[in-house]
Structure 1
Amino acid sequence: MVPGASASAQETIDHSLPPPPFLDRMQPFEAVQAANAGLQIEVDRLAAEQLADHRALGELLAGIAPQRPGTVDAYVLVIALDSDPVFAREARQAAIVLERRYDAAGRSIMLAGPDGQAIGGLPRPTARGTPASLSIALAHIAATMDVEEDVLVLFTTSHGTPNGLYYHYGDQGFGGLSPSRLRGIFDELGIENRLVIVNACFSGIFVSGLSSDSSAIVSAASAGLTSFGCSPGNDWTFFGDAFVNRALRQPQPLGAAFEAARELVGQWEDEQGLPASQPKFSIGRGAIGWLSELESRMPRIATPPVGRSPAEEN
């Protein structure tokens, strides 16, 4: 099955081989340089697979609606950078929740691998989540939106490292993405109004790395800490379930949603004897205006959580 095809939602992509040897032999400073460069390595990918995924990404981007002058439009981009199916399941539902919450119908893109079961109904069209597809999608969104008026809502879910996000797709894709690299892309494209939600271990480094006057940043953990619930068989990670699947489904402000999720994650960690992950939230003064406009249009009726809670699975 070609990665990116919607029929692949009933399959999974396993990690069965170690990464290329030179990646394991990197010195710490080399790993930092690789993450800052947005390193992406593809091993033995078939040309037909690459073409199919290129076409799938093109179809997704072509379907994005234009911005509406005079309206603060949200453009939602959700990406799973690891082929462990828990991240794809989480990404599919996060795209639904964020699109509904921020009035982004026709303005959302989801990039992920197959999830094995597609919780919550039929899988939505997708293309493979990679550092390259992330950059391309961001560039297309920037060219479509009014960067002075509109807002990017970016949700990433994956494993993390002290240097940033880890890209790992089966036995073929390897790489990383640092806060410095992501900020460089934002600066290049002029995307200043942004809500960035980073769900990964050590993701607090993105709070300091991406904070600005016109941005809001949420991370699943502090910079030096791990987060939990990322077993491949889960429907959600701890933070994804608490923040996206529960708190963001409620008609409450972003700050209140974060606090509710932070408390719930802490409760689950205490109950299971896990060290605290300490999720983080930062918002600039200039972001308050666009966030208030988006939240004034969010649905006033909550939707119920879907899938199995990882707190019950572990």
Structure 2
Amino acid sequence: MGHPRIRRWSTAGATLLAAVFAGSAAPGPQAGYTPPVHTGLAQQGVAAASPQQLQSMADAGLAMERARPAGWALTESRRLAAGVDALKPQRPGVVDAYVLVAGMDSDPVFGREAREAARVLERRYQAQGRTILLAGTDGTGPSTLPMGSPANIESALSAIAARMDRKEDVLILYTTSHGAPWGIVYHDGDSGFGAISPFRLWSTLDTLEIDRAMVMISACYSGVFIPLLSKSTRVIATAASSRRPSFGCAAENDWTFFGDALVNRALRKPQPFADAAAEAQGLVAGWEKTAGVESSEPQLFVGEDARTWLTALDARAPRLAGKPVGRPAMAMLDQSALAGR
């Protein structure tokens, strides 16, 4: 995603990684706590890779952890297991929604967005007991949640596939992170680095036989996921086209543009998902025009056979609109910095 602290992708692998993950997060209110920062150490070994090599690694399941303390992996697995074990079974005759929300980057904006997105989606789709949340810090202190790593996302998807009736129920997947032309990026300070490419996500869903799914991706270039993931039984909404960055992901923000528009505002209202997506596209376009930046071109795909389950889920939307929370994404913009790019 693009924002006032410019994180633009270039053609050279080293520049790609350094530019996207430069900058540090704002300190949280917990005494002595500073959210993880990105200095480039986590992606050592791939910093010199070309975009083509990065694409190949992402397709193969790029994931690296470094300098983790003893016991980290056990703690992580226990946190994930707790979320998986709490999943309720599906109800025969009911189109149950199973929600997975993943904040894949340790910049607090993604942790804050993921936490509230999980609440909104759980409420909208009556998915209490059928929601898994993966995320790093929200800026107030170390996260007690399992991280939104590629491995945790794939494990959570596997657990959901085992619980749901794949011919009746629906997966609701929302991810928020930085993005690249080769996929969505996992980054946990200087300790974790990886990516999920369109091929990798397509392969995971295909292997697990999850055809009925709503996939929402808040990241730069996230439109790259639409061609491979598109299926008549799916709905896909992305923050940007395959050739554009998206905005609002400064670490101190509460929301990205896409998350604020779609989740924090449009999906809180008792309106069909397609109408909510259209409202979000309009909001984002207006904010980008005000900021003087090139449109991110949010994308929406609705498969013909997805309309049946989508109608059933839309019928569960709360009758009364909820109020947006947090600071609006526009509130934190340094418009002069954006306009001068």
Asked if TM exceeds 0.5, the reply is yes
Work out whether 1:313 is the aligned partner of 2:336.
no
| Percent of residue pairs bearing the same amino acid type | 48
Alignment CA distance shift 1:20-1:240 (3 Å)? closer
CA RMSD of aligned residues (A): 1.7
1:95 is aligned to 118
1:222 is aligned to 241
Choose the corresponding residue for 1:168, options 187, 194, 209: 187
Query: Which residues in structure 2 correspond to 1:143-182 (within 5 Å)?
Result: 143-182=162-201
Deviation at 1:295, TM superposition (A): 1.0
Query: Aligned equivalents of 1:212 and 1:198: distance in 2?
Result: 16
Deviation at 1:22, TM superposition (A): 2.4
Letter in 2 for 1:126: L
Kindly provide the CA deviation profile for residues 220-271 of structure 1, in whole angstroms up to 9, marking residues without a partner as x.
0000000000000000001100110000000001111011110111101111
CA contact (8 A) 1:215 1:287 kept: yes
Query: Which residues in structure 2 correspond to 1:1-314 (within 5 Å)?
Result: 12-117=35-140, 126-314=145-333
Deviation at 1:76, TM superposition (A): 0.2
Deviation at 1:19, TM superposition (A): 3.9
Query: Aligned equivalents of 1:220 and 1:28: distance in 2?
Result: 21
CA contact (8 A) 1:218 1:280 kept: yes
Kindly provide the CA deviation profile for residues 126-162 of structure 1, in whole angstroms up to 9, marking residues without a partner as x.
2111000000000000000000100000000000000
CA contact (8 A) 2:40 2:190 kept: yes
Letter in 1 for 2:331: E
Query: Aligned equivalents of 1:41 and 1:229: distance in 2?
Result: 26
Q: TM-score, normalised by structure 1?
A: 0.93
Deviation at 1:17, TM superposition (A): 3.8
Alignment CA distance shift 1:303-1:191 (3 Å)? same
Deviation at 1:125, TM superposition (A): 6.2
- SS of 2:46's partner is helix
Alignment CA distance shift 1:17-1:31 (3 Å)? closer
Alignment CA distance shift 1:17-1:35 (3 Å)? closer
CA contact (8 A) 1:167 1:176 kept: yes
CA contact (8 A) 2:269 2:317 kept: no
Deviation at 1:49, TM superposition (A): 1.5
CA contact (8 A) 1:13 1:83 kept: yes
Query: Aligned equivalents of 1:62 and 1:143: distance in 2?
Result: 12
Deviation at 1:29, TM superposition (A): 2.1
Query: Aligned equivalents of 1:182 and 1:188: distance in 2?
Result: 10
- SS of 1:23's partner is coil
Kindly provide the CA deviation profile for residues 28-85 of structure 1, in whole angstroms up to 9, marking residues without a partner as x.
3211111111210001112311111111110111001110000000000000111111
CA contact (8 A) 2:100 2:173 kept: yes
Q: TM-score, normalised by structure 2?
A: 0.86
Query: Aligned equivalents of 2:217 and 2:308: distance in 1?
Result: 22
2:25 is aligned to none
1:3 is aligned to none
